[in-house]
Amino acid sequence: MKRIRISPEHIIPVSFLFAIIIGTLLLLLPAATAPGFETDVVTAAFTATTSVCVTGLVVVDTYAHWSLFGQFVILVLAQIGGLGVVAVGSMLLMLGRRKFTLGDRQLLGDSLNIEQNKGLLLFLKRIFRGVFFVELTGALLYCTRFIPMLGLWKGLWASVFHSVSAFCNAGMDVVGPNSMMDFQGSVFLMSVTMALIVLGGLGFVVWFDVMDGIREGIKNKRSPGSFFSHLPVHSKLVLLMTCGLLLFGTVCVFAAEYHNPDTIGTMPLGDKLLNSLFQSVTFRTAGFASVPQDKLTEGTCLVGYVLMFIGGSPVGTAGGVKTVTMFLVFMNALSYISGKNENVIFHRRVSEELMRKAAAVVFVSVSAVFVMTLALMASDGVCLTDALYEVVSALATVGLSRGLTPKLSLIGRIIIILSMYLGRIGPISMAIFFTKGAGLENKIRHAEGKFYVG
């Protein structure tokens, strides 16, 4: 009997789909719903999808509609979705002391978007240790505010939930219906939340490069000023892109919303800067909101489309096409305009295969945004600004909404469910498909045709 082999580009989407189905069934249990509420199949499926895809768009209030058991299911789904279903499954296999085959290693590498197999299991262990430490630290910091405000047990649960949700860029909370709007003047809570979001969005590769760089610097007695120059090129690019995009978003939001009384217009200068920075951070796939998103100016929405679409960085918990991907596409155009025959970043050449991969990811993502926005406008009759905001937020697994999600029709909710799912598996599986596919290579060399571009 012929053995059927399933390629990684099929296993990864199926694993997320399987997690969504299990989550839906668990959320349909009567014990998952708070007294006085009822949960239908679409609501359960929507919530399971937004949890596994770490998006944060919700059709019911997380703190009110779901029981403690339901909230626990959501938290577990968000943790699994943030780290990746395959990565979590691999870690469980490691704990069970199962031997990893070459195929297992390849699947894990593809799920993490890492090509080399050497040291992969050690890298996975470092990820889980680092995630546990960061989320525990975040929860302890939240406890100092939430326990006095909510009481011991409820405050402790809210702290754990908020920490995991922020780090995984899930954007859900169990404190109340207003996300971070009740804390828009709290420098401490806003700062802790932003730190968790940024750490999750930087990517684990950057984490370990920075930590290794610090250790090497201390060991070799290097000056602090030389730290950045000794980092690998990927981490250099991610850190520069992250800082640049956060600064760009902060300045744009501050300028566009400065006189808007519905957002930051009536705040003191310090709070205006704080909330502008928070909005810039949360645009990077986080989903928490410190100001009403439906009150943002169209200029801020335009900036939001760009930042949400780009998202975080590779091998992390964030969504979007990723910072490095977008930079490579930009560099490719810049290199052609300047007449260069290769793409060079920090004196290192970028391979043609990687450039094609970046272009494919961006093209597929732009196409998905276009199709889903048209579908949502047709199904629910919403304006372009709201439809585009909702779709980009779903596809980039951001979770910000202009108040449209709970009002969507059945078809509209299905469109957003599909968008969240495609957004979570798309940049990974689509990139693998375009670069590796089924391992086929062109066997025929065609004659060159004459075409005109531009």
Is the confidence at residue 123, as pLDDT, over 90?
A: no
For 189, the 3-state DSSP assignment is helix
Give the residue-averaged pLDDT of 53-70.
Answer: 91
Question: What per-residue confidence (pLDDT) applies to 96?
Answer: 64
The H or E element that residue 345 is part of is strand 343-345
Tens of pLDDT, residue by residue over 429-443, are 654 554 454 444 556
Residue 106 and residue 115: Cα distance in Å, rounded?
8
Question: What per-residue confidence (pLDDT) applies to 243?
Answer: 93
Average pLDDT, the chain: 85
Residue 396 and residue 309 in contact, taking contact as beta carbons nearer than 8 Å? yes
Indicate the pLDDT class of residue 2, thresholds 50, 70 and 90.
Answer: very low
Both tokens assigned to 165 = 């949700």
CB atoms within 10 A of CB 188: 12
Residue environment code for 374-412, b if the CB has 16+ CB neighbours within 10 A, otherwise e: ebbbebbebeeebbbbbbbbbbbbbbbbbebbeebeeeb
For 33, the 3-state DSSP assignment is strand
Phi, psi angle pair for 141, to nearest 5°:
-65, -40
Give the residue-averaged pLDDT of 107-126.
Answer: 69
DSSP codes of every residue in 276-307: HHHHHHHTTTT---SS-GGGS-HHHHHHHHHH
Residue 22 and residue 93 in contact, taking contact as beta carbons nearer than 8 Å? no
Both tokens assigned to 152 = 């011991």
Both tokens assigned to 369 = 């945004």
Indicate the pLDDT class of residue 72, thresholds 50, 70 and 90.
Answer: very high
Residue 33 and residue 66: Cα distance in Å, rounded?
5
Question: What per-residue confidence (pLDDT) applies to 111?
Answer: 60
Cα 298 to the center of its chain, rounded Å: 23
Give the residue-averaged pLDDT of 318-340.
Answer: 87
Boundaries of every domain in the chain: 8-205+231-435
Indicate the pLDDT class of residue 213, thresholds 50, 70 and 90.
Answer: confident
Give the residue-averaged pLDDT of 276-293.
Answer: 91
Which of 18-27, 116-125, 167-176 holds the top average pLDDT?
18-27
Residue 227 and residue 169 in contact, taking contact as beta carbons nearer than 8 Å? no
Angle at 319 between CA 313 and CA 321, to 5 degrees: 70
385 Cβ contact list (under 8 Å, min separation 6): 298, 301, 402
Tens of pLDDT, residue by residue over 162-211, are 999 999 888 888 988 888 899 999 999 999 999 999 998 888 888 888 88
Question: What per-residue confidence (pLDDT) applies to 429?
Answer: 60
User: 301 versus 360: which is more confidently predicted?
Assistant: 301
For 208, the 3-state DSSP assignment is helix
The H or E element that residue 175 is part of is none
Tens of pLDDT, residue by residue over 293-312, are 999 999 999 999 999 999 88
Both tokens assigned to 200 = 């999750």
Residue 62 and residue 74 in contact, taking contact as beta carbons nearer than 8 Å? yes
CB atoms within 10 A of CB 299: 14
Taking the model in full, what pTM does it have? 0.88
Residue 381 backbone class (left: φ over 0; alpha: ψ -120 to 50; beta: rest) = left
Tens of pLDDT, residue by residue over 233-265, are 888 999 999 999 999 999 999 999 999 999 999
Indicate the pLDDT class of residue 110, thresholds 50, 70 and 90.
Answer: low
Is the confidence at residue 97, as pLDDT, over 70?
A: no
339 Cβ contact list (under 8 Å, min separation 6): none
Residue 334 and residue 355: Cα distance in Å, rounded?
13
Residue 293 and residue 326 in contact, taking contact as beta carbons nearer than 8 Å? no
Which of 44-48, 55-59, 87-91 holds the top average pLDDT?
44-48
> What percent of the chain is modeled with pLDDT above 90?
46
User: 112 versus 150: which is more confidently predicted?
Assistant: 150
Give the residue-averaged pLDDT of 344-349.
Answer: 84
321 Cβ contact list (under 8 Å, min separation 6): 309, 310, 311, 361, 362, 365, 396, 427
Residue environment code for 130-151, b if the CB has 16+ CB neighbours within 10 A, otherwise e: ebeebbebbbebbbebbbeebe
